[in-house]
Chain A
Amino acid sequence: MGSYIPSTAAQRQEMLKAIGLEDFRQLYKDVPGEMYLDRELDIPSGKSELEVCREVSSMAAGNKVFPTVLRGAGAYDHYIPSIVRYIPAKEEFLTAYTPYQAELSQGILQSIFEYQTMVCELTGMDVSNASVYDGATAAAEAAAMCRDRKRRVTLISATTHPDVINIVRTYCYGTNDELRIVPAKDGKTDKEELRKMLEGGDVSGVYVQQPNFFGLFEDAGELGQIVHEAGSMFIMGCNPIALAIMKTPAECGADIAVGEGQPLGMPLSYGGPYLGFMATTAKYMRKLPGRIVGQTTDSRGERCFVLSLQAREQHIRREKASSNICSNEALCALTAGVYMATMGPDGMAQAASQSMSKAHYLAKELCKLKGVSLRFKGDFFHEFLTDIPKADEVLKALEDNGILGGLPVDGGIFWCATEKVPKAELDRAVSIVREVLA
């Protein structure tokens, strides 16, 4: 069996003796006898590293890896530069705890400060926190930031990722607050309905995803205006790759910008670890949940970094805290920082623009096939929904050829392309679809 206990059997006996005990059972004298586990656990026996390596590797081999992924819907297969995999694997970054002791944690604190700056640059907002669990919980935390005594209702557009809607609903269920869904029209948020739903004056915040769940660009600036006219706060959930080129939440008048940071250098990984980013204006800085790193000086007068504004947090405020969040996704924030530093402003813009260009090429080629058409007319980023005959057969044929096709959504197929897929592979995918439809 494997063990990571360094003390030898003789040393353990010596230590027991030193504390005046004869055996290990005596360490647990406070545990009532009737619940003391007097049997072995019903789990497998321990194994050597080599055996475990074989066993877990064989589980990994039980998955089918698709070399080409044309599926997104909240998790995106972008190219990850080699250095982005290596740096977060450094043992110092990997095995440290939350940087409570600034004197031993400057590397982590500075990396978070740099990440916060990059998120502010990407979103145009003033202040970023050190991360939350994922884009969906960031949306839920943002909705909570908007509430005050009078305004308790949250609105969320129907064009939002279904998981995000469900998670915001769950958090609302927690605090006994109401969530209402703003209906969609032609794949985008229905502005007239939104206006009506804001009339009661009870809406605290409105959440809109950009680009939305169907890949379409919302008229975010106009939506922001409608929301603000009603005295509510405007939350935008943004794709961070798109942010390299698209109008920023700040330019759209957003009060809070959040999003799923996974596209910034994190592999798909069956759903996680991912990264929730979260930024706001200076006005709402002290309502932001989670860790925030701030700059200060040390006793020698040098610049240094600390966890700051902690009066918001659960370990100080307990039941009055702005959130219960403690651990976040620091290593993923580091990963995102390394990704953005490696790609730079131009590389990020290339990743965004190539993803969009390839999605448009794929859409154009697919729509040349008989019976295939775009369901919605609007401008889209790197995802689009097609109406297509024989959707199941199409996807099966693609999978048999090593391509994970789009996601089946509402009877159609919801496709995604990134910079990672070469034109030749897009052409191959289209020809496979052509054969099925022929």
Chain B
Amino acid sequence: MKLIFEKSTQGRSCSILPPCDVEQIELKEGLARKTKPDLPQLSETDVSRHYTELCNRVHGVNNGFYPLGSCTMKYNPRIDEQMAALEGFTSIHPLAPDYSTKGCKAVLDTAEKCLCEITGMDGMTFQPAAGAHGEFTGVLLIKQYHASRNDTRRTKIIVPDSAHGTNPATAAMCGFEVVNIPSAPDGCVDLQALKGALGEDTAGLMLTNPNTLGIFDENILEITRMVHEVGGLCYYDGANLNAVMGVVRPGDMGFDCIHLNLHKTFATPHGGGGPGAGAVGCKAFLRAFLPGSAIKGHEGIQVRSFAGNFLVVVKAVTYILTLGKEGIPEAARNAVLNANYLMRRIQGTFEPAFDRICMHEFVLDLSRFKEETGVSALDVAKSLIDRGIHPPTMYFPLIVHEALMPEPTETESKETLDEAADIFRELYELARKDPDYMKSSPHNAQIGRPDEVQAARNPILRWKRT
């Protein structure tokens, strides 16, 4: 389809602003730009149709099944959107006087109270705008804590090799040396490896539990105890909280600080890449290190202007109030049930990497399948697109080769899971009959496979008038 610039017509415009009703001031010669920006010139019909055409080329979770592992693509309720669009929230200036923003404070207080209870934490900030931003904030809590005790020896953060890439990247941004430890084959922490890495230079450990292979680490109490014993702190990456919310709390596992992905666990939409919200919670002894705003007189760390992605918090609060104390654990239990059900329905064709109960997601290991058929995990993923399913996460975690990681979430019905399982099984058969068809899939998508090598070698990152 055409780019918006290719639909532009010189002299066309939308009618938005009235003429200026005060004396119009022009910028001085030296301050003004030489030429106007070459933005598209369109009628409102043009704008509307262009974006409608674009949105017809997008698959969202509200369009269909989206089992993207580690991303918790659950249904995003419309009521959450309606509440976040209330004028009483959208028109509030972030620097309005406190007496006029009591409603915003009530939202943040409700979110803090509920989420502290769900996670077993004592305090929380909503400044971080995404999960990785939350990690950055959380690890800075650890850094400040050690600094406040003049404990300058602690220069290392331990990260298992099964961790999300954001974990080591975050530790580096916080000035720590990253110690990667190998995981046990099931992605759980190898206690011997951990023991070998721990020492008086340990600042902390970053961990996801359930881990990135969808397995709950049953040694978790021992792990956090070992880290604490050498004076380190434990950071919980909340990416996988959906499996356990209301069932077991990171605070009770021994974690000192955590981040949550409100855009995963608490049903706020991901918007094609954001905005998210990466709320950071901590135990009482770390509360003094939480961020605030300089313009409001705070002297500690600050990671984002004002109160963070406030409207995302409104959506999460709406969701939490809807589910309540009964619905939160019910959602977790059904997310786990759906994952196990789907895994077992597929089993016998594509094999799970671990034949055991999984949490909210599971990993399929296609290495033998690839050897037998020549069809890769990527080919299966692209074939799923032809069947109307968004592919699972591919080639992650790195410790399983030819990995596909489906996470169905609790908001899919048994019928959807049955259909999806049948499609997986069909593809398993198809790979034996017609592997070339799968290797050249997708066949029915709006585009064929893109040439990513060309994109990287010859970067075209903007449109230019020819």
Q: Does A431 sit at the interface, judged by CB under 8 A?
A: no
Top 6 nearest A-B pairs (CB, nearest first) are A46-B324, A271-B306, A60-B88, A331-B271, A330-B273, A62-B103
Contact B28 A46 (CB under 8 A): no
Contact A298 B448 (CB under 8 A): yes
Which of B225-233, B279-287, B330-338 lies at the interface? B330-338
Q: Does A255 sit at the interface, judged by CB under 8 A?
A: no
Task: List residues of A (126-184) whose CB comes within 8 Å of B's CBs.
Answer: 126-128, 130-131, 133-137, 161-167, 170-171, 173-176
Contact A354 B20 (CB under 8 A): yes
Q: Does A327 sit at the interface, judged by CB under 8 A?
A: yes
Most buried by A among B42, B269, B314: B269
Which of A228-236, A333-341, A383-391 lies at the interface? A333-341
Chain A window 11-47, contacts with chain B (Cβ cutoff 8 Å), 1 for yes, 0 for no: 1101110110100101111111011110011111111
With a cutoff of 8 Å between Cβ atoms, the chain B residues found around residue A297 in the complex are 450-451, 454
The smallest C-beta distance from A429 to any residue of chain B, in angstroms, reads 13
Choose from B71, B175, B327 the contact partner of A174 (Cβ within 8 Å). Answer: B175
Cα distance A320–B180 in the bound complex, in angstroms: 13
> Whose C-beta in chain B lies nearest to the C-beta of A40?
B325
Q: How many residues of A contact B (CB 8 A)?
A: 204
With a cutoff of 8 Å between Cβ atoms, the chain B residues found around residue A267 in the complex are 90-91
With a cutoff of 8 Å between Cβ atoms, the chain B residues found around residue A208 in the complex are none
Task: List residues of A (311-330) whose CB comes within 8 Å of B's CBs.
Answer: 311, 313-321, 323-330
The smallest C-beta distance from B135 to any residue of chain A, in angstroms, reads 7
Q: Does B184 sit at the interface, judged by CB under 8 A?
A: no
Given A28-B336, A46-B327, A304-B447, does the pair A347, B17 have CB atoms closer than 8 Å?
yes
Contact B39 A300 (CB under 8 A): no
Contact A273 B312 (CB under 8 A): yes
Contact B462 A167 (CB under 8 A): no
Cα distance A107–B328 in the bound complex, in angstroms: 33
Cα distance A106–B66 in the bound complex, in angstroms: 16
Contact B272 A217 (CB under 8 A): no
Given A56-B314, A101-B381, A298-B447, does the pair A162, B60 have CB atoms closer than 8 Å?
no
With a cutoff of 8 Å between Cβ atoms, the chain A residues found around residue B218 in the complex are 30-32
Contact B330 A5 (CB under 8 A): yes
Cα distance A163–B302 in the bound complex, in angstroms: 8
Contact B79 A173 (CB under 8 A): no
> Whose C-beta in chain B lies nearest to the C-beta of A65?
B91
> Whose C-beta in chain B lies nearest to the C-beta of A365?
B22
Contact A49 B448 (CB under 8 A): no
Given A174-B173, A176-B175, does the pair A340, B39 have CB atoms closer than 8 Å?
yes
Contact B44 A71 (CB under 8 A): no
With a cutoff of 8 Å between Cβ atoms, the chain A residues found around residue B246 in the complex are 37, 41
Given A47-B324, A89-B81, A97-B68, does the pair A314, B272 have CB atoms closer than 8 Å?
no
Contact A95 B94 (CB under 8 A): no
Chain B window 369-381, contacts with chain A (Cβ cutoff 8 Å), 1 for yes, 0 for no: 0000000000001
Choose from B30, B118, B345, B357 the contact partner of A43 (Cβ within 8 Å). Answer: B118
Cα distance A24–B337 in the bound complex, in angstroms: 8
Contact B3 A324 (CB under 8 A): no
> Whose C-beta in chain B lies nearest to the C-beta of A48?
B322
Task: List residues of B (129-172) whose CB comes within 8 Å of A's CBs.
Answer: 129-133, 135-136, 140, 143, 164-166, 168-172
With a cutoff of 8 Å between Cβ atoms, the chain A residues found around residue B169 in the complex are 314, 317-319, 321, 323-324
With a cutoff of 8 Å between Cβ atoms, the chain B residues found around residue A217 in the complex are 31
Q: Does B329 sit at the interface, judged by CB under 8 A?
A: yes
Q: Does A433 sit at the interface, judged by CB under 8 A?
A: no
Contact A96 B60 (CB under 8 A): yes
Given A104-B385, A247-B33, does the pair A61, B25 have CB atoms closer than 8 Å?
no
Q: How many A-B residue pairs have CB under 8 A?
A: 690
Cα distance A139–B263 in the bound complex, in angstroms: 25
The smallest C-beta distance from A238 to any residue of chain B, in angstroms, reads 11
Some 12 contacts from A to B, beta carbons below 8 A apart, are A18-B341, A30-B218, A59-B106, A61-B103, A79-B17, A83-B48, A105-B57, A122-B39, A308-B456, A314-B166, A329-B273, A329-B275
Contact A29 B357 (CB under 8 A): yes
Given A2-B322, A15-B341, does the pair A270, B306 have CB atoms closer than 8 Å?
yes
Q: Does A113 sit at the interface, judged by CB under 8 A?
A: yes
With a cutoff of 8 Å between Cβ atoms, the chain A residues found around residue B448 in the complex are 103, 298-300, 302
Q: How many residues of B contact A (CB 8 A)?
A: 201
Cα distance A31–B143 in the bound complex, in angstroms: 30
Q: Does B182 sit at the interface, judged by CB under 8 A?
A: no
The smallest C-beta distance from B190 to any residue of chain A, in angstroms, reads 17
Cα distance A174–B75 in the bound complex, in angstroms: 36
Q: Does A426 sit at the interface, judged by CB under 8 A?
A: yes
Which of A185-193, A199-207, A288-296, A366-374 lies at the interface? A288-296
Choose from B54, B55, B341, B452 the contact partner of A19 (Cβ within 8 Å). Answer: B341
Cα distance A340–B51 in the bound complex, in angstroms: 13
Cα distance A221–B29 in the bound complex, in angstroms: 13
The smallest C-beta distance from A437 to any residue of chain B, in angstroms, reads 20
> Whose C-beta in chain B lies nearest to the C-beta of A409?
B295
The smallest C-beta distance from A422 to any residue of chain B, in angstroms, reads 6
With a cutoff of 8 Å between Cβ atoms, the chain A residues found around residue B410 in the complex are 4-5
With a cutoff of 8 Å between Cβ atoms, the chain A residues found around residue B440 in the complex are 299
Contact A272 B216 (CB under 8 A): no
Q: Does A415 sit at the interface, judged by CB under 8 A?
A: no
Contact A327 B449 (CB under 8 A): no
Contact A271 B36 (CB under 8 A): no
Chain A window 69-93, contacts with chain B (Cβ cutoff 8 Å), 1 for yes, 0 for no: 1010111010101010101111111
Q: Does B265 sit at the interface, judged by CB under 8 A?
A: no
Chain A window 267-292, contacts with chain B (Cβ cutoff 8 Å), 1 for yes, 0 for no: 11111111000000000010000011
With a cutoff of 8 Å between Cβ atoms, the chain A residues found around residue B136 in the complex are 174, 324
Contact B14 A343 (CB under 8 A): yes
Cα distance A296–B127 in the bound complex, in angstroms: 37
Which of B197-205, B247-255, B427-435 lies at the interface? B247-255
Contact A133 B140 (CB under 8 A): no
Q: Does A258 sit at the interface, judged by CB under 8 A?
A: no
The smallest C-beta distance from B195 to any residue of chain A, in angstroms, reads 20
Contact A423 B87 (CB under 8 A): no
Contact B247 A31 (CB under 8 A): yes
With a cutoff of 8 Å between Cβ atoms, the chain A residues found around residue B28 in the complex are 379
Contact B100 A64 (CB under 8 A): yes
Chain B window 34-45, contacts with chain A (Cβ cutoff 8 Å), 1 for yes, 0 for no: 101111111010
Contact A260 B305 (CB under 8 A): yes
Choose from A14, A272, A314 the contact partner of B306 (Cβ within 8 Å). Answer: A272
Cα distance A426–B37 in the bound complex, in angstroms: 30
Q: Does B466 sit at the interface, judged by CB under 8 A?
A: no
> Whose C-beta in chain A lies nearest to the C-beta of B412?
A6
11 additional contacts, CB 8 Å, given A173-B301, A315-B396? A18-B341, A92-B56, A94-B81, A98-B270, A103-B442, A131-B273, A174-B175, A314-B165, A318-B169, A344-B12, A345-B38
Task: List residues of B (292-332) whose CB comes within 8 Å of A's CBs.
Answer: 293-295, 298, 301-312, 314, 317-318, 320-331
Cα distance A288–B215 in the bound complex, in angstroms: 35
Cα distance A32–B37 in the bound complex, in angstroms: 61
